[in-house]
Structure formats: C-alpha cells, structure tokens
Chains A and B, each alone.
Chain A
Amino acid sequence: MECKTELIPRILRDIDDGVLALDKTGHIIYINHQCQELLDLSGEEVGKTYAEVFYDDHCGNKNEDFHQLIINAIYKKDQTHCSSIIFTDSNNKQKHLSIKSSFLKNEETNESLGIVVVISDITKEEVLKKKRNDAVIVFSCVAACLCLYLLLLAMLEFLKINVPTKMLTQVINAMVFVIGVIIYRKTDFSFDELGLKLVKPKHTFGSAIIVSLGIVALLVLAKLIILQVSPGFFAENTPFWNWDIGLYSWVSYIFTCIIQEFLARSMIYTSIRKMFDGKKSAVAAIVLSSLLFGAVHIAHGFMYMIASIILLGSLGGLYEKQRNIWGVAIIHYILGQAACCLGFLM
C-alpha cells in the first residue's frame, strides 16, 4: 500500500505529459512541473482557482479552446475530451498542445471530485507537419506547371507552330510568378526559408564573384581547346569574345536568372529538402532540383538541358552553404552572359 502511495506521485512527476487537477470548487489541487513549463506558469498555482491562474489579464482571453475543454468535461462527464489546440502563454509564445480532459467522480458514491487535464506538447510535430504540407503544396504546383509546360510544347509541335525559345523562357517566368503567388498565399514559408533573405552580403557576393571568374576562366580555356581541336564548332567571323549580345539580353537576363533561381532553389530545392529526412536530404534536393530544372529547358535542346543540370547541380552545394539565392543568381548571370559572349549559347 505504501509502495502504491509512493508510486503515483513518482509517475506523475516523471512522465513527459503535463498534468493538472482541479477540485469541484475550481481550485488547483495538483499540477506537475511539466504542466507548469508547458503553460509557462510560476509554480505557485496549487490552492488558487482556475480563473485566477488562467483568466488573468495577459492570456485569459486568448485560450478559449483550452478553457472549452474544461467546460466540455463538465457537460459530458462520462467522456474523455481530446483536442489539439494552440495555447498562448503570458509571454505571447504560442504552443501546439494536445489536451485530454475528463471529469472525475467517486465510483462508489457518484460524488463529483473535479477535473483532470493531461497536456502534451506537440509543437514540433505540428510545425513539421505544416512545413511538410507547405512543401507538398509547392512541389505539387511545380510538378503541375512543369506538366502543363511540356503539354504546351507538345501542342505547339503538334500544331507545327514555331515559337522562339526566348518566348518560352518568358512562359516559364510567368509560371514561376504564378507559383510564387500561390506560395505567398497558401504557405507559411518565410523569406528566409525560401532563400530570399540576403545573409552576409559581403561573403555571398564575394564568393559568387570568385566562383564566377573561375568558371568563366574554364569556359575561355574550353573555347581555346575547341578552337584547336574543332575550329568549325563556333560561328565563323565572330570575335573570340563578343560583347554585342544586345541590351535586352543584358537587362532581361537579370530577371530571368533571379526567377529561375527562385524556381530551382526557393521552390523545388526547399520543398524537396522539407519532404526528405536524414543526412542525404541535401543531396537528394540538389539532384532532383537539378533534374527538374533541366527538364524545364527541354525547348532549348539536349545540350542546353545537360548544361542546366550541371550548372544547377554544381551550384547546389554553394546554395546549401549560403542559403540564399542571390549569390547563385549572380553566378548564373555572369556564366550565362559569358557563355553567350564566347559563342557557346546563342
């Protein structure tokens, strides 16, 4: 018997859940440490009434769902009432809690004893669930838009309509804009999570310039080698480095790079990263986002698709490190323009 008396307080003390017990006059007769932590209470609640503790000026009006579970237990005494609620503590911090409330009665005399409430913190699970849900929304939008784009290409081919690739690039940009609006309206992704917040600008831009110069040097070297091995590869009578690619290209390509990096990193990469667990999630996100980005460039031909996949894949590591699109967008821009100036791209 003595052992039993010791056992119950020990269990209540050591379980992960918070436990709160009220007597029939509304006084708190038991509250464990976990419950005090979950509800951000001071630790001097025993003996006070429920209203004194939970209907104070700070958070009394914010937690109606919590109070309602207490009331439900009074109206339906023979049931355990379960619900997931958002609880706002006195510091205005919100927590997702799973609550179970039940009415206590003396089984022999049927006399009312009070109410017991068991509380679990499910904030992490709820946040994760929301993030994954957001990721699924974004990924589904990307997949749907990609399918529609492929369908459009198939239709144009079927109708034998020749549309310039520049125009098709604008179609992709418009699609990205639509998905961006959906993300803004339907998800809780922050600017930070989408890689739009510029963190450590000096480091971001510095790394981008260094990487860009390195890759441009490689492109120059590649052209020199190709000119030796296969002189007919490039168009005849064009300078080694042709600056004259047009003002429209110099300006519009800035927006194209930002939009495409937003598509590849902010949307595809971020959503895949959220959907996968474990150490390999970054690799999976880089590979999948590269492949999808390559698929978007189907209208530009096989070589362009391969170049897009390689570009996206190789810059994936840098994005993973910097976690913002601005550095990779600069590399994307410099590299794209350099490839045009050198005659790799038209």
Chain B
Amino acid sequence: MKINFNKNEDILNICIDGRLDTITAPEFEEFLKSNLSGVTSVVIDCEKLGYISSAGLRVLLSLNKKICGNLTLLNPQELVMEVLEITGFVNILKIK
C-alpha cells in the first residue's frame, strides 16, 4: 500500500494505492496518528484502492469519529463501493 498525501490548511487529502487490509490497516492507522493534528476533515481518494477488509473499515470508522464525521471517500472502485454499500458504510461516510 502506498499513501500519498497533502495538507491544505485543516484538510488532509490522502490517496491510497493498493490494499487496505489486516496487514496494511495498522500502517495506515500509524500514518493517521502522525498526520492528524490540526486536521478537521479528511478526503481519501480511493480510485487506486483495490481492496478493503474489515480491518480497513474499522480504521475508516475510527477516523470518521475522530474528525466528527468529516471523512469523505472519493471515486471508490466497484467492489470497494459494494463493500461500503452492503456493510452500510454509505450511510455513515460521505462518498462521492
């Protein structure tokens, strides 16, 4: 998994390339810990996110809580979108 990011004032833009699974989710969590100070909203570009596991969903849910529901996912792939739909995450996260 590769993480590209940039901070625009209090908005953190992230692009995830690869899989967000049991192995990479802790790595993503660590990244968030280091880069979340002063951030009020996060935008994750999921165009290159090929797979998300339950561990990945947990990290997204936890992040969404930390920033008071200001997490937005952009361009999720078909299967990732299906995961978000069937698990009911489309009602919790903002997806564009």
Task: List the B residue with the shortest CB-CB distance to A66.
Answer: B54
Assign chain B's interface to a size class.
Answer: 20 to 34
Does any Cβ of A come within 8 Å of B75's Cβ? no
A75 touches B87 (CB 8 A): no
Q: Complex: how many Å from CA A128 to CA B77? A: 44
Chain B, interface SS category: helix
On chain B, the residues within 8 Å of A27 by CB distance are: 88
B40 to chain A, nearest CB (A): 22
Does any Cβ of B come within 8 Å of A242's Cβ? no
Does any Cβ of B come within 8 Å of A114's Cβ? yes
Q: Complex: how many Å from CA A30 to CA B52? A: 26
Does any Cβ of A come within 8 Å of B6's Cβ? no
Q: Complex: how many Å from CA A114 to CA B86? A: 7
Task: List the B residue with the shortest CB-CB distance to A112.
Answer: B82
List residues of B (22-44) whose CB comes within 8 Å of A's CBs: 22
On chain B, the residues within 8 Å of A50 by CB distance are: 86-88
Closest 3 CB pairs of A and B: A49-B88, A51-B88, A67-B54
Interface residues of chain B, those whose CB is within 8 Å of chain A, are 22, 51-55, 57-58, 61-62, 79, 82-83, 85-92
* Pairs across A and B, CB under 8 Å, 19 listed: A24-B86, A25-B86, A26-B86, A26-B88, A26-B90, A27-B88, A49-B88, A49-B91, A51-B87, A52-B88, A52-B91, A60-B58, A60-B61, A64-B55, A64-B58, A67-B54, A70-B87, A71-B52, A75-B51
Interface residues of chain A, those whose CB is within 8 Å of chain B, are 22, 24-27, 49-52, 55, 60-61, 64-68, 70-71, 74-75, 112, 114-115
